[in-house]
Amino acid sequence: MHKLTIAEIIEKYPFVEAFFEENKLDIREHGHRTFKEYLDTFTEDEIEDYAIDKAALYENLFEYIKQMKDFLGLEEEEGIESLTILPGHDKSNNPEQFEELTIRKSEIVSIVGPTGAGKSRLLADIEWTAQNDTPTGRTILINGEIPDKKWRFSSNNKLVAQLSQNMNFVMDLTVREFLELHAASRLVEDVEGTIGRIIDAANNLAGEKFDLETPVTSLSGGQSRALMIADTAILSSSPIVLIDEIENAGIDRRKALNLLVDEEKIVLIATHDPTLALIADKRIVIKNGGIHKIIETSKEEKEILSKLEEIDKFVLRMREDLRKGKELSNHN
């Protein structure tokens, strides 16, 4: 709020004009300035003549807004713009060798390392917004600050949505009924429109298309993964998505990640697949329970990625031809 201009503050909180009037502050020509910048326009003579206490005015404005919001019952939900990981230590108590890692909205980060290295522990630290109180000693910040306790203790606010490798539905529901239940739980107003967006997005990812009347228990592995990725991107309130291995899911992985990024999620992928690792903007290398290093995806690696994605397209095309009963050849 402190970075908003006066015009933006008035637009967001119209009642604030009363504060300016009560304190005889003429802000008519200063809408483009922040309140601090406005106060800095006063000369020493004006400060003395009108007994202006800039520090008190600055503090009182934001206290006034807070009190009025409480009085009017206004609640704001600040969006998650960034996630910051501060270092802890590995299983041998050696300090992690990085200063901090900040991941921003619509950014993709992969997590790589051998099985048992500590990828799940990193996820748990993020999910529970660790404050130097987990086995790794890491600290998690949200928007650069110590996070609200709701991310830890509220069942309605989940920081991380997880998409696991094995996804099996056990409910006797159609795809429509499943999505209607989820939409209702999120108090979505346009349920039909939202369901339409999800099924369209899912079919854009899946190798084999399905419709809203398909029982969820009859979906293939790839269809289930496509449905849950689309559902998570469009309906989930969780700002951070962790994907655990999607290399053999039979879906278009690039489209899946683009969908999540377009919906302004922070995306972390635990993977052993080089294509997924290089799609990411950077990758976290886990070793012996700690973050061993952080690698920015280089230009050379992006060139390698282009070749890998060509191979992926070839494999997807062969898979689709097999489904259609075609014979494969070098010219497919």
pLDDT tens per residue, range 291-325 = 999 999 999 999 999 999 898 888 878 888 888 88
The span from the CA of 127 to the CA of 239, in Å, is 11
pLDDT (tens digit, 9 = 90+) per residue, 78-100?
Answer: 578 899 999 999 999 999 989 99
Contact 304, 278 (CB under 8 A): yes
Mean pLDDT confidence for 55-61? 90
The span from the CA of 289 to the CA of 298, in Å, is 25
Supply the pLDDT for residue 285: 95
Mean pLDDT confidence for 154-169? 66
In terms of residues, how long is the chain? 332
**Per-residue CA distances from 114 to 94, 136, 245 (Å):** 19, 18, 13
Query: Cα-flanking dihedrals φ and ψ of residue 104, to 5°?
Result: -100, 160
The span from the CA of 65 to the CA of 2, in Å, is 12
Highest mean pLDDT among 3-17, 21-35, 179-193, 231-245: 21-35
What is the number of other CB atoms lying within 10 angstroms of the CB of residue 204?
16
Nearest of 39, 10, 15 to residue 25 by alpha carbon: 39
Tokens encoding 67: 């009190």
Q: Please, what is the average pLDDT of the chain? A: 85
Residue 200 clears pLDDT 90, i.e. is over it: yes
> Rounded to a whole number, what is the distance in angstroms from the first to the last CA of the chain?
57
Strand, helix or coil at 290? Answer: strand
| Least confident stretch, 140-144, 194-198, 232-236 | 232-236
Supply the pLDDT for residue 207: 74
pTM for the whole structure: 0.67
Sign of the Cα torsion 47, 50, 55, 58 reads negative
What is the number of other CB atoms lying within 10 angstroms of the CB of residue 302?
11
Query: Cα-flanking dihedrals φ and ψ of residue 83, to 5°?
Result: -125, 130
Nearest of 127, 167, 166, 161 to residue 147 by alpha carbon: 127
In the chain, the percentage of residues whose pLDDT exceeds 70 is 90
Q: Tell me the angle at which helices 253-262 and 299-323 cross, rounded to the nearest 10 degrees.
A: 120
